[in-house]
Structure 1
Amino acid sequence: MKNIYNYILASFVAINFASCTDDFEKINTDPNGITEESLTQMNNNVGNEFGPMFLNVFNVTPAWNYQLQQNLMGDVYSGYMTAPTPFAGNVNNQTYALVDGWNGFPWSNAYGSVMPQALNVFNAVKLGGDPDGVKFVLLANIIKVTAMHRVSDIYGPIRYTKFNDFATTGEYDAQDVAYKAFFQDLTEAIDGLKVYEDDVQFAPFDMSSLAGNIAGWRQFANSIRLRLAIRVSKIDPALAKTQGELALSSDAGLMTESNMVINTGFPHPITVISGSWGDIRMGAEMESILTGYDDGRIETYFNPSADASLEGDYKGIRMGIDIAAKGEYGDHASIGSVIDGETLTWMTAAEVHFLKAEAALRGWASAGDAKSNYEAGVSASFAQHGVSGIADYLADTTSTPADFVDALNDANDIAYGSDVKIAFNDAGTNEEKLEQIITQKWIAMFPDGQEAWTEFRRTGYPRIFPVVVNNSGGTIDTNIQVRRINFVENERNTNSANVEEAVGFLGGPDTGGTRLWWDTGAGNF
């Protein structure tokens, strides 16, 4: 942050010096060279860049963009949802025939409406001449990291650290380099924004529930830092512990009492995809876990099946099965009231409690007790969705996920892969405890399937069912499942040399079967 501040300040001085002989009278009447009018205009110019960033971490409109950025990728690969629609003759993402025309949207949203806007904020502040404008740079960087770690968790290597230099903007970072840059940007923001906690200039541009509260933004950034520390805990335990303990001990605090919600002004895209189009339904894993646990959140997450023969049951669809027509499974459980309104959640308090629970298992300082954090996470999720019965739920030592039974075709039936229970098993191994933590974290993060898919790839939990139909041509192992999305076609066509270098960073072919840097495939402890 200090370097950014000094750079902006130096630029401000240089601009004033270069213009002083041409505008001597104005500079003498305004020693700083900035009128109140120009400062207000500068803030507006900067502030206007935030709208596209807020609306493209998850793209919210049109709904088909979200469908391709998130819904037919992370949402289905996580086990949260399944499309009853056999797009392209059932040869599509769900059967591992990765569709380039779909899978470029996370990339194009990020490089069309997040990265350029963050750069514009930096340049506007630099040219505007107000050293206090650095707060906008730091806030933009928080949103940038929130968006770009998701992009990296889809593709792996990304264009990040060199993006701001025209000569190198096409060059990729290996994923470990990008992650270390994420930590640096978050740390600079958390530390640098402390002096601005009473500042209100961001309020007119803040589309989040924080309403311009800088202390809240520091807390959110610190919570993202903990998320990413946990993300790299298997591949780089030392880096993870350092960053995790910084987050756990930071005076910024963690977001354990409130959720990070964006007021988009548009209906949640899934209301269109599920309601108007009928293109997404409950996933089989959601049915198995929520019905097996008799979990009250099911009534918020989903609507009972419309098919009269299912007698109001919450029925899901297994991903990657043979579907001939949309009408077969179209009346299975649709998405419920969790998506009502014009808001979209970036992070929940429940997730932060579960991050602390895993940090406790890993022995990180200031993480607290794993069981207490686990129970706080479940309780926070119940409270978020207005569900009662938390005490009985947390004391349940017998319920387990149910085996999945396909309502139409018993060839798709499958047993759930474990008997993981609800009540925290303090006597269990760390692996057993982690499965409990991640299973409940997975439930609580719904409907953010991108983050849920990422955590499944990192930990193996919860137990996601393999596809029945695999159209990948051997590039994706049915049992190992899809691990990433290949680099986008437009990048290959216009930035081919840098894409080829990025493929080298992967350590494997540019296919959906290659593991990302943090996806080690090894045990969790």
Structure 2
Amino acid sequence: MKRLYISSIAILLLTFGTISSCTGDFEEINTNPNDPISVSPSLLLPNAIQIVVDRYWGHSTRYERLNIDAAMCWIQHLSRNIYINAEGDSYEIPLTISSGTWNNLYRESLINFEKVKTLSGPGGSYENTNYVGIAMVMQAFTYAYLTDVFGPIPYSEALKGTAEEAINSPKYDSMEEVYAGILADLTEANDHLSTSGPAVVGDIMFNGDIMKWKRFANSLALRIANRQAVKKPAESKEIMTRILADPAKYPIIESNSQTAELIHFDVIGSRNKMFDVFSTRSDWNISTTLIDELLALDDERITVYAQPLEDGTYAGLPNGLTDAAAGNFNASRIGLKYLDPTAPSVLMTYAEVEFIKAEAALDGDIEGDAAQFLESAIKASFNQQGLTMPDDYMSRIGGVTKESIMTQKWIALFGQGVEAWNEYRRTGYPVMPAPHPNSVFSNDGVLPTRIEYPTSEYSLNKANLDEGVSKLGGADNMRTPLWWVE
């Protein structure tokens, strides 16, 4: 019989194929119709999407939750009141966060998206350009996630374990090279995706709505182009201008109903992972930094992000306190919205697209009024939380500056800690307050600039890893800045 398998000889020996255990005439007579020779894209796609989303939003496995245990604390959306040294808030993280992120995204998602492309491409068993386009969008998102977290990564050779000339030890590409590849892939994905094309099954993100996939693809291209704009201004300006000038060809996210998000169900394995974590443990509070900013702005989003104390007020917990010091604070916990098992895991919002436009307009990369884009972004953020932006809110934030745009973006990205961490590292905003006197930070007191490569790469792909570290431009630690830093 034949059965499909997905395995890895090393961390990056990403292969797929079939193993034959019967040959000749015996193969035909021993074929089991319930154990198919090949798996259709509709069966590969759901799990591949689920794994990417969980690793981005909040995986439920302890010591592997980059967003919950690390990024949301580093960016001071959340703070820890216990296990502070072990799980992120003090800038110390277990190595399993690195290996869990790396291994699962390469082995369980990227390789399956590649298989979807092979099965659905020209001459494939399930030829369907829409499957190809969806897989390319999700690969682009996943590679962007990996490079924004680690720096240089295997990209161009990462999935060539079964090529005619198999590459079992893939090279590392620079962030600039990865970004260029991602942007090219997103343009190609947009071309593959057709609303008049064949239907897809197994799309747990958009339920087969191809226009939403096109909007996600082009909005993601805006994110990537804007992020690299300081390093490649002419190219980034051309990409953003081209997309925004032709909405018929390059549709983008234009309302909250078009948000790129995974809707969950109250079933074990499908629940919102933040529910899985926060509903069973009380180790986290809302950071003082976020609470103080929202209170200063009299911002009603505080009622969604945080639970009030018994007296109806809101209070935060400073980041980096020792367990003993944290016990002296009475602080708000995360809002009930995030304790709903059916709450969505969010990848990209309408508000983020408008914030990108605001920043690009302010920088002169696109035409338009930065103030109008910023107001639109804030309104979208309020509406996303079921609220209405007050008429005088724009007067509360001061002028339209890089700092005001990025601070508001930081507020709106609550829940998307990795994305907020990306933007903070890139721009330096929001300006973080001085640490509490009782705070104790590792990593030389530097808010992490990246996470370290998994230790398995040192034993299984050392020569290429060394080349990757040279492209990083600094040591493999959590203090080396990434390529797109302004």
The alignment's TM-score, normalised by the length of structure 2, stands at 0.83
SS at match of 1:491: helix
Equivalent in the alignment of 1:47: 42
Please state how far the C-alpha of 1:281 moved relative to its aligned partner: 1.5
Determine whether 1:241 maps to 2:237.
Answer: yes
Distance 1:131 1:364, change over 3 A: farther
SS at match of 1:294: coil
Please state how far the C-alpha of 1:178 moved relative to its aligned partner: 0.6
- Give the conservation status (yes or no) of the 8 Å contact 2:64–2:98: no
The within-5 A match list for 1:276-287 is 276-287=280-291
Paired letter, 1:335: I
Paired letter, 1:86: Y
The within-5 A match list for 1:207-222 is 207-208=204-205, 210-222=206-218
- Give the conservation status (yes or no) of the 8 Å contact 1:281–1:335: yes
Distance 1:117 1:324, change over 3 A: same
The within-5 A match list for 1:125-144 is 125-126=120-121, 129=124, 132-144=127-139
Distance 1:43 1:240, change over 3 A: farther
The within-5 A match list for 1:430-509 is 433-465=401-433, 468-472=439-443, 474=444, 478=445, 481-509=447-475
Larger radius of gyration: 1
Which sections of structure 2, spanning at least 5 residues, go unmatched?
Answer: 1-32
The within-5 A match list for 1:275-424 is 275-305=279-309, 311-324=311-324, 327-329=327-329, 332-339=331-338, 340-342=340-342, 343-365=344-366, 367-396=367-396, 422-423=397-398
Partner Cα distance (1:147, 1:483) in 2: 19
Identity %: 29
Partner Cα distance (1:110, 1:219) in 2: 23
Partner Cα distance (2:114, 2:83) in 1: 40
1:71 corresponds to which of 43, 62, 68: 68
Paired letter, 1:269: K
Paired letter, 2:334: I
2:477 corresponds to which of 511, 514, 520: 511
Q: Which has the higher helix share?
A: 1
- Give the conservation status (yes or no) of the 8 Å contact 1:235–1:518: yes
Pairwise CA RMSD = 2.6
Equivalent in the alignment of 2:199: 201
Partner Cα distance (1:353, 1:515) in 2: 27
Paired letter, 1:74: A
Partner Cα distance (1:254, 1:355) in 2: 12
- Give the conservation status (yes or no) of the 8 Å contact 1:302–1:314: yes
Paired letter, 2:74: Y
Deviating beyond 4 angstroms after TM superposition, the runs of 4 or more aligned structure 1 residues are: 41-44, 325-329
Equivalent in the alignment of 2:109: 114
SS at match of 2:332: coil
Partner Cα distance (2:402, 2:408) in 1: 10
Distance 1:395 1:176, change over 3 A: same
Determine whether 1:83 maps to 2:80.
Answer: yes
Determine whether 1:185 maps to 2:177.
Answer: no
- Give the conservation status (yes or no) of the 8 Å contact 2:244–2:250: no
Paired letter, 1:290: L
Partner Cα distance (2:312, 2:64) in 1: 27
- Give the conservation status (yes or no) of the 8 Å contact 1:59–1:109: no
SS at match of 2:89: helix
Partner Cα distance (1:155, 1:502) in 2: 10
Please state how far the C-alpha of 1:70 moved relative to its aligned partner: 1.6
What number of residue pairs does the alignment pair up? 433
Please state how far the C-alpha of 1:466 moved relative to its aligned partner: 5.5
The alignment's TM-score, normalised by the length of structure 1, stands at 0.77
Paired letter, 2:130: K
Please state how far the C-alpha of 1:273 moved relative to its aligned partner: 2.3
Partner Cα distance (1:147, 1:458) in 2: 19
Paired letter, 1:138: G
Paired letter, 1:117: N
Please state how far the C-alpha of 1:323 moved relative to its aligned partner: 2.3
Please state how far the C-alpha of 1:503 moved relative to its aligned partner: 0.7
Please state how far the C-alpha of 1:459 moved relative to its aligned partner: 0.7
Distance 1:327 1:176, change over 3 A: same
Equivalent in the alignment of 1:161: 156
Equivalent in the alignment of 2:16: none
